[in-house]
Structure 1
Amino acid sequence: MAKIDTIQVNGNPMRILYEKPHGNGPHPCMVVMFHRGGFDEFTKKILKNLADLNIFSAAPDVYHWSEIKDQTGKNLFPKDTDLIEDIGGTIDWISKLHSVDIQRLGIIGHCMGGRMAFLGASVYSQFKVCISYYSGNMFKVWGDDNHPTPFDQLSNIKAEVLGFFGNDDENPSQHDVNIISSELTRLDIKHQFYRYDGAGHAFQNFLSVDRFREEARNDSWSKTETFLKEKLCIIPSCVD
């Protein structure tokens, strides 16, 4: 069952929702960047799925900043500069745990969390893998216009990238995905992108009857599991 701890990020309290796998470890670990729903049942299910893979997972509550909390009802996104601090604080928190192997660290996210996953992997070289589901707004800055977009920072990624997209999605559109993939190829960043016909944005989200696509969900998560088992050395043959 997921638990909550609280850390300080630039003097602001931030909750971290985390789930431990069974056993003593040390376990590989994933930072989970949540979608618009925050700490909802979908996010909790992602943490549980990762724990079932013997991965420690932690999701920072990036809604903790006062600009967001004080303006309930407005469709605000966290600032990129604040997100970077939140991800860094989460990495620091994880690194102090005895049950994890910080050398086997990855980041995953859905929707806006997919965008955050790219951003985090661009800033923090500790990430070995970056998994992004339908990452919209890659060409926009959240907050300070002088800050580079996630797309502009792709060249800094050291992680291997895995991405999943619905061909009916408008943000990111198929054209957007083509541009991102071409840029990663140009930068010689190893990546695998998978696209699904008949699926749009949030096709993994079982909480949304209109958007959920079971076949795309099952195939994409199966590929995610295989990728994580190989890249984070979960299977014994990888550890030996």
Structure 2
Amino acid sequence: MTDISVAVDGVERSAYLAVPEGEGPWPAVVVIFELVGANADMRAQADRLAANGYLALLPDLYDGKPWIRCVSRAMREFRAGRGPSFAFLEASRAWLAARADCTGRVGVAGFCLGGGFALLAAAGGGFDAAAVNYGLLPNDLEEALSGACPVVANYGGRDRLLKGAAAKLDRTLTVLGVDHDVKEYPDAGHSFLTETPVPVAAVPLMRVTLGVGIGREFGPEAWERIFAFFGAHLANGSTT
């Protein structure tokens, strides 16, 4: 587990790499963090993926800057579907795929803000599978997901910000013929797969409106579904 850099349009940008034990090659996953950035909990999720046999790369889309200064820019990029963050994600995918210890199959897994980016990357980023965890949906969902790779997704029914998102995503992927596994956990809120602490300034909004942290007992099942899906589409997927 180490800090590395990835060249993005000629500029070196920071990332965290987690490598499985033993000998590769392994499939890989680009991890996209929650809105508070590349903190210890997000590194722990990369470590979790590595412990399950995936090269995992966590790019620092905020470049070390405080998250509160970067969220607005990231959201603008998400709404536009383009920008430096997407360039970094594509560079991360290509960097992993080119490694001698990678099988060449690369997935993407995102949480919260990163879940929205992962959903867009599923269609436009050359990835082989995507795990979308309580991610925002783009406005024109069917157009945005045309040609998407297989998608596994997790949402919480007590997350008011994303009310109905799971059902809408499931319907759209069905219409598009994209292999998918979308599930809403009725008694879970936002961020139920992770342990990132709620920023003090955001406690009222995130606890009451989003239900942050509620239903973490459902996290293990959600992770089992992610690993089963990745196992089918990354670990055992075709290399052609």
In structure 1, how many angstroms separate the alpha carbons of the residues matched to 2:114 and 2:70? 18
Normalising by structure 2, report the TM-score: 0.82
Residue 12 of structure 1 corresponds to which residue in structure 2? 11
- Inter-CA distance 231–137: structure 2 relative to 1 (3 Å threshold): closer
Secondary structure of 1:76's aligned partner: helix
Residue 123 of structure 2 corresponds to which residue in structure 1? 122
Residue 144 of structure 2 corresponds to which residue in structure 1? 153
- Which residue among 186, 190, 194 is the counterpart of 1:205? 194
Q: Which one has the bigger helix percentage?
A: 2
Q: Which amino acid aligns with 2:191?
A: A
In structure 2, how many angstroms separate the alpha carbons of the residues matched to 1:100 and 1:71? 31
Conserved in 2, the CA contact under 8 Å of 1:166 and 1:195?
A: yes
Q: Which amino acid aligns with 1:170?
A: R
In structure 2, how many angstroms separate the alpha carbons of the residues matched to 1:230 and 1:60? 25
Residue 27 of structure 2 corresponds to which residue in structure 1? 28
Deviates more, 1:6-15 or 1:91-100: 6-15
The structural deviation recorded for 1:109 is 0.5
Conserved in 2, the CA contact under 8 Å of 1:118 and 1:150?
A: no
Conserved in 1, the CA contact under 8 Å of 2:28 and 2:97?
A: no
Normalising by structure 1, report the TM-score: 0.82
Secondary structure of 1:227's aligned partner: helix
Unaligned runs of 5+ in 2: 199-206
Q: Which amino acid aligns with 1:155?
A: S
The structural deviation recorded for 1:73 is 4.0
- Inter-CA distance 182–4: structure 2 relative to 1 (3 Å threshold): same
The structural deviation recorded for 1:99 is 0.9
Residue 136 of structure 1 corresponds to which residue in structure 2? 136
- Inter-CA distance 82–151: structure 2 relative to 1 (3 Å threshold): farther
In structure 2, how many angstroms separate the alpha carbons of the residues matched to 1:195 and 1:71? 28
Conserved in 2, the CA contact under 8 Å of 1:35 and 1:111?
A: yes
The structural deviation recorded for 1:111 is 0.4
- Inter-CA distance 191–72: structure 2 relative to 1 (3 Å threshold): closer
The structural deviation recorded for 1:150 is 6.3
Alignment of 1:1-240 (within 5 A): 2-64=1-63, 69=65, 73=69, 75-78=71-74, 79=77, 80-102=82-104, 104-125=105-126, 127-139=127-139, 152-157=143-148, 159-174=149-164, 176-208=165-197, 211-212=212-213, 213-233=215-235
Q: Which amino acid aligns with 2:6?
A: I
The structural deviation recorded for 1:166 is 0.2
User: How many positions carry a matched residue from both structures?
Assistant: 220
How far does the alpha carbon of each residue in 1:125-181 deviate from its partner, in whole angstroms, 9 at most, with x for none? 3x2211100012532xxxxxxxxx666320021x2110000001123212x332222
The structural deviation recorded for 1:76 is 1.8
- Identity, % of aligned pairs? 22
Q: Please, what is the CA RMSD of the aligned residues?
A: 2.6
